[in-house]
Amino acid sequence: MSIEGFARVARQWGWGQTWPCLARVWLLLAILPLLLGGCTRDEVGAAIATLAVEARATLEPWGATALAENVTPTTSPTPPAATTVADASAVPLPPTAALEPTALSSATLPASPTPVPTPTLAPTVTPSPTPPPPTPTPLPAEVAVPGGSMLFVAGGFFQMGAAADDLLAECQKFSTSCQGDWYAPSEPAHTVLVAPYYLDATEVTNVAFVDFLNAIGGQAALCQAQPCLDVDQSRIDWQDGVAVVAADREQFPAAGVTWYGAAAYCAWREARLPTEAEWEKAAGWDDSTMTARRYPWGDEFHGKRLNFCDATCDAPQANLSYNDGYAVAAPVGSYADGRSATGHDDLAGNVWEWVADWFSPDYYATSPGADPTGPESGEQKVVRGGSWFDTAYFTLTTVRQSSPPENADATLGFRCAANTP
């Protein structure tokens, strides 16, 4: 088939888009016999040139110029003419065959590595410093009260009472007739715990007690349905139903007061009578050395540091070796050298002092170890400290005595205590 015939067939069969490629096949088929027939190189070249001219003339009507231009003799190859953008658009290109995706065997693929989770680091939290606990406000060492002041007494453990042998030895220093009931109630020595409290710096004075009496009704007033005092045993008197103090006796201890009168006065002041344990801790314990004292100032007796029955005391038991300057009671706070370790005055001598507890001679054998308050009932109340009418033995800080609560004696006075806030 000639190239003209080949072109006609391509046109009839609708190969307008693929004929250039088919034309090249035709040329190859036309040249192949020449190569196989033993033609020389020049003869083959001449034949190719002739066929190219013929192909250009035949195929040009169908846009085959590019084919003719690309078919050149092998003896003098000519580079193909540059195809412009316009030429490229004019020449239809065969459709590009879609590439079928090649299925890859899963065996040929490396296994995907198992992802290692990145550890999440918790944020570093710097703890806020714990604020220090608030510093408690210290309690005042002294507070003012009607007629005087109260001093703070630290709570804690202390030794209460004394051994019988020690008490007897002290008694025999001042008397040849020591009796068992003088010292037996004060034994044995034992450890007691008390809470902190306040205690009057001195015994309650006449002027302070007069203010109380007049505030509650004067002469007609009663204390717990009992007489508050016996004016015949005190320096207080009634004038037209009003309590008054004898001249120059305002600062002397309020004596001749019943236990009921003492308790009522302290309650009026929003205070109370001290327990026996509180009284003894303030009188005879030294927190700085953690030791008990026989007397408020120490272990040795000093007749100039208290008011007791000395040369001015008109009684058989008078100790003529001392003269304290007062025949009976002295003004409160007259013996600064006789103060206790807590700073309290007159816890030895001057007047006995009522305390809150009922009295039992063997109470110490069964008393509780913390804040003892005495028996639940009794017939007499405890009195402590001795008086201007007693020998030095009864001024020992551990000696216990008693008196009926209705008793009003010139040797009996009191002081008040109060709880801490």
Q: Return per-residue pLDDT of the chain as tens, 421 residues.
A: 555 554 454 455 444 445 455 555 545 555 555 555 556 666 656 656 665 556 565 555 544 444 344 434 444 444 444 444 334 344 444 444 444 444 444 444 455 556 666 666 666 667 777 877 777 788 899 999 988 999 999 999 999 999 988 999 998 888 888 887 888 899 999 999 999 999 999 999 999 999 999 999 999 999 999 999 999 999 999 999 999 999 999 999 999 999 999 999 999 999 999 999 999 999 999 999 999 999 999 999 999 999 999 999 989 999 999 998 899 999 999 999 999 999 999 999 999 999 999 999 999 999 999 999 999 999 999 999 999 999 999 999 999 999 999 999 999 999 999 999 9
Assigned token pair, 78:
């000519």
Note whether 188 and 163 are within 8 A (CB).
yes
Do 149 and 244 reside in the same domain of the chain?
yes
Question: What is the pLDDT at residue 359?
Answer: 98
Residue range of the domain that includes 39: 3-79
CATH number of the domain within which 340 lies: 3.90.1580.10
pLDDT value of residue 131:
78
In a domain, 133, yes or no: no
Output the pLDDT for position 112: 57
Q: Identify whether residues 74 and 187 lie together within a single domain.
A: no
Q: Let me know whether 70 and 149 are in one domain.
A: no
Residues 255 and 182 in one domain: yes
103 within some domain: no
- Structural domain count of the chain: 2
Q: HEC string of the chain?
A: CCHHHHHHHHHHCCCCCCHHHHHHHHHHHHHHHHHHCCCCHHHHHHHHHHHHHHHHHHHHHHCCHHHHHHCCCCCCCCCCCCCCHHHHHHCCCCCCCCCCCCCCCHHHCCCCCCCCCCCCCCCCCCCCCCCCCCCCCCCCCEEEECCEEEEEECCEEEEECCCHHHHHHHHHCCCCCCCHHHHHHHCCCEEEEECCEEEECCCCEHHHHHHHHHHCCHHHCCECCECCECHHHCCEEEECCEEEECCCCCCCECCCECHHHHHHHHHHCCCECCCHHHHHHHHHEECCCCEECCECCECCCCCCCCECCECCCCCCCCECCCCCCCCCCCCCCCCHHHCCCCCCCCCCECCEEEEEEECCCCHHHCCCCECCCCCCCCCCEEEECCCCCCCHHHHCCCCEEEECCCCCCCCEECCCEEECC
Based on the domain organization, do 146 and 74 belong to the same domain? no
Q: Omega into 115 within 30° of 0, i.e. cis?
A: no
- 254 and 365 both lie in a single domain: yes
Considering the domain architecture, whether residues 7 and 153 belong to the same structural domain is answered as no
**Is there a single domain that holds both residue 40 and residue 148?**
no
In a domain, residue 134? The reply is: no
Is the Cβ–Cβ distance between 214 and 245 less than 8 Å?
no
Which among 79, 101, 128 is the end of a domain? 79
Q: Say if 116 falls within a structural domain.
A: no
- State which of 79, 94, 127 marks the end of a domain: 79
Instruction: Flag whether 110 is in a domain.
Output: no
Do the Cβ atoms of 315 and 389 come closer than 8 Å? yes
Does one domain contain both 168 and 291?
Answer: yes
Taking each helix axis from N to C end, the angle separating 19-36 and 41-59, rounded to the nearest 10 degrees, works out to 160
Confidence (pLDDT) at 202: 98
On whether residue 24 sits in a domain, the answer given is yes
In a domain, 333, yes or no: yes
What is this structure's pTM? 0.69
178 and 68 inside one domain? no
Domain boundary among 79, 103, 125: 79
Residue 112 domain-assigned (yes or no):
no
Q: Are residues 193 and 335 in the same domain?
A: yes
Is the four-CA dihedral 316, 322, 323, 324 of positive or negative sign? negative
